[in-house]
Amino acid sequence: MRTALRTAITTALVAGVAITAPALTAGAAFAAGATPAPKAAAPAAAEDAPVRTVQLAGGLSAKVYAKGDQHPYYTATIVRDGQVLGELKAGGGYAQKDTKTIVGYAVTLDSEGKVTAVAVDAANGTLLRTVQLAGGLSAKVYAKGDQHPYYTATVIKGGRTLGELKAGAGYGGKDTAVFAGYSVTLNSDGEVTATAVDTPQGTLVRTETLMTGTVAKIYKVNALHHRAELFRQGHPVGVLQANTRSVAGQDNGEFLVLNPDGTLHNWIGNTAPGVPGIYRLADGTVVELGRKDGVFGLQEIDPATDKGRGYIYNHGGSKVYSFGKAVVVLEQGGSFSAYVPGSSKQAAPQPYGMGGGGQGESTPVVTELGPCTVSTSVSIGAGTKAELFMTRQGPLAEFSAADDNGKDRVFAMVDRAHPSLPKSVGFIGRIVAPNSTTPSLYTKVEGGTAKGATHAFPKLPKGCTAETVPGDTANGATGTGTGTTTHAGQTSVIPKGGVAAGAELGTAGDDTALLAAGAGASFAAAGLGFVVLRRRSAAARV
């Protein structure tokens, strides 16, 4: 064929006939090493140029682009003063609408490429959209904030508000909570999604609200196995599993005990510090707190024989005991709380002595710490302990409570120079006759008609003489003959003897030594570690 073509071209040239384009084209196709003619440059793709530019409120403008082929969608580049502030996408594989808060305006792009901007109500929020979610849930999404914009989503079912989520700015990248069996998430772009959570093991038998508002959903697995799922404001905060034995959780002095049959015990306070010794419960039962190899345990004491019935030790978490009519929870750090179901009489375990076949108030153990320095420890109620020190320079008392790990943390102190706790601590603590050789500590941790208690400081060892305060009397006080004692350097007047119920003796002077304000709060679910619920100050603990 190549030979025939060359012959035809030669013949045409000899004859003076012009060679037609098809002949050259056909020959070029077989020419070795021939270079094809360059192609014309393709026109710019339509999606590289905006389909329109929209002027918006607040000096904003939006360049709208049409993109995609089989699945077309739109993007909008938001600009102000030549600076790109963000981009929106809607349609195709994206949502039907995309909204973002940009410099105080809620800017929305829809699936048809339309862009709008509405000023955000920074205080009350601007409703952007209502999203229909799985499980019959819906979420109203609001744009809030000004310089630090964020989103909130109000989750609704059947016209009833179930809770609120917050994301963006100072609230983090996303917020997730469980509502009506669905895990609902709001992210920092204002997008809301919902997915079904795993069906809880067992059958839901009831829902209870605890004393501080935590909601407990009780599920029955079998006759001797129940579980409690705990929620606060829709957020899961812990799970208790009572399988043939009772389990407990504790949140800043609020206790929850779940029994294998599904019954609950819930109370606040009634806590004694982790000081080994003998205690009497509110129902009269006597127990002993002991410690072996660093592990705390409890045993019931027979008052007739003064003998214990055997320790049961707590090797982790919160352990539940049944002594007499009382339910007792022992924390790993040694503090323990008692509750008598159905009784109007509730109180923290009180130190109690044994001996000679009878019972009587125990004598605090005095420890000699060094030359002319002795101390003793007393429980003042509500899970708080006072360590009383006596030195040549006078009395000093440290107040402590167990932290999340069961360790005592000192949060306040009083001494001769600063004898009163400030009111901000939340209870009354005052050294009576701080300049005398026989000072005592008065405390009142409960309000109303509850009585306070007085604890004597230990006496200095023989041969130790207390330093006197210049200008003070032998006992550091001057009698007025009116039933009151006036102390130097203080403005308060202290009633002698028992303090009247409800008397406010705490002073809020700036010179009072406050060491710390607040221990961490946690919910110690048995076998689950610690789940953070919320934070309170030490004042709130009592």
pLDDT tens-digit map of 506-519:
322 333 233 333 33
**Is there a contact between 412 and 513 (Cβ–Cβ < 8 Å)?**
yes
pLDDT at 205: 92
pLDDT number for residue 449: 64
Q: Please tell me the predicted confidence (pLDDT) of residue 491.
A: 28
pLDDT at position 179: 87
Residue 22 reports pLDDT greater than 60:
no
Instruction: Judge whether residue 355 has pLDDT over 50.
Output: no
In the predicted model, what is the mean pLDDT of residues 327-354?
89
Q: Positive or negative CA dihedral for 305, 307, 308, 310?
A: negative
pLDDT > 80? residue 500: no
Q: Which helix (H) or strand (E) holds 495?
A: strand 493-495
Q: Residue 405's pLDDT is what?
A: 67
What token pair was written down for 359? 């019972």
Is 295 exposed, middle or buried (CB count within 10 Å of its CB: 0-12, 13-18, 19+)?
Answer: middle
Stated as kind and residue range, the H or E segment containing 313 is strand 312-313
- β-bridge mates for residue 312, sequence order: 298
Q: If you search the block for the tokens 């003070």, which residue do you land on?
A: 472
Q: Which H, E and C letters describe 349-375, residue by residue?
A: CEECEEECCEEECCCCCCEEEECCEEE
The pLDDT assigned to 509 comes to 33
Specify which residues 408 forms β-bridges with: 402
**73 strand-pairing partners:** 67
Tell me the per-residue pLDDT of 125-142, one tens digit each, with 9 for 90 and over: 888 889 999 989 999 999
Instruction: Give pLDDT, residue 450.
Output: 63
Mean pLDDT of 164-186: 88
Task: Provide CB contacts within 8 A for 536, sequence distance 6+.
Answer: 252, 518, 521
Q: What mean pLDDT is predicted for residues 212-222?
A: 92
In tens, the pLDDT along 399-443 reads 988 776 667 788 999 999 999 999 888 889 999 989 888 899 998
Task: Answer yes or no: pTM beyond 0.85.
Answer: no
What is the band of 297 on the pLDDT scale with cuts at 50, 70, 90? very high
* Ranges 26-30, 45-49, 109-113, 171-175, most confident: 109-113
For 185-199, how does the pLDDT look when each residue is reduced to its tens digit (9 = 90+)? 999 888 999 988 765
**Exposed, middle or buried: residue 237 (CB in 10 Å: 0-12, 13-18, 19+)?**
buried
More confident residue, 484 or 266: 266
Mean pLDDT of the region 214-229: 93
Q: Are 402 and 332 in contact, with CB atoms under 8 Å apart?
A: no
Query: By the 8 A CB rule, do 456 and 438 touch?
Result: yes
> What 8-state DSSP symbol labels residue 43?
P
- Give pLDDT tens digits for 436-492: 888 999 988 776 666 678 888 998 888 888 887 655 543 433 333 333 333 333 322
Q: CB atoms < 10 A from the CB of 244, how many?
A: 9
Which range has the top average pLDDT, 28-32, 278-282, 353-357?
A: 278-282
Contact indicator for 294, 283 with CB cutoff of 8 Å: no
CB burial class (10 A; 0-12, 13-18, 19+) of residue 366? Answer: middle
Q: Is the pLDDT of residue 328 over 70?
A: yes
Tokens of 406: 């069961």
C-alpha distances (whole Å) from 486 to each of 172, 311, 492, 499 are 55, 49, 8, 15
| Distance from C-alpha of 351 to C-alpha of 14, rounded to nearest angstrom | 132
Cα 282 to chain centroid distance, Å, stands at 32
- Calculate the average pLDDT of the chain: 76
Q: How many CA atoms lie within 13 A of 421 on its CB side?
A: 26
> Would you place residue 47 in the very low, low, confident or very high pLDDT band (cuts 50, 70, 90)?
low
Residue 420 DSSP symbol: B
Q: What percent of the chain has pLDDT over 70?
A: 72
pLDDT bucket at 178, cuts 50 / 70 / 90: confident
Helix (H) or strand (E) holding 538: helix 538-541
**Selection from 497, 494, 434, 442 nearest residue 466 by Cα:** 434
Question: Residue holding tokens 């009587």?
Answer: 360
Token pair for 361: 């108030």
Query: Mean pLDDT, to the nearest integer, of 337-350?
Result: 92
10 Å CB burial of residue 30 (0-12, 13-18, 19+) is exposed
**pLDDT at 46 (0 to 100):** 53
List the beta strands (DSSP E) in 357-427.
Answer: 358-360, 367-370, 373-381, 384-391, 394-402, 408-415
pLDDT level of residue 53 (50, 70, 90 thresholds): very high
Q: pLDDT, tens digit, for every residue of 98-109?
A: 888 888 888 899
Question: How big is the chain by its Cα radius of gyration, in Å?
Answer: 39
- The arithmetic mean of pLDDT across residues 31-38, rounded, is 48
What gap in Å lies between CA 482 and CA 173, rounded to an integer? 65
User: Measured between alpha carbons, how far is 239 from 217 in angstroms, rounded to an integer?
Assistant: 10
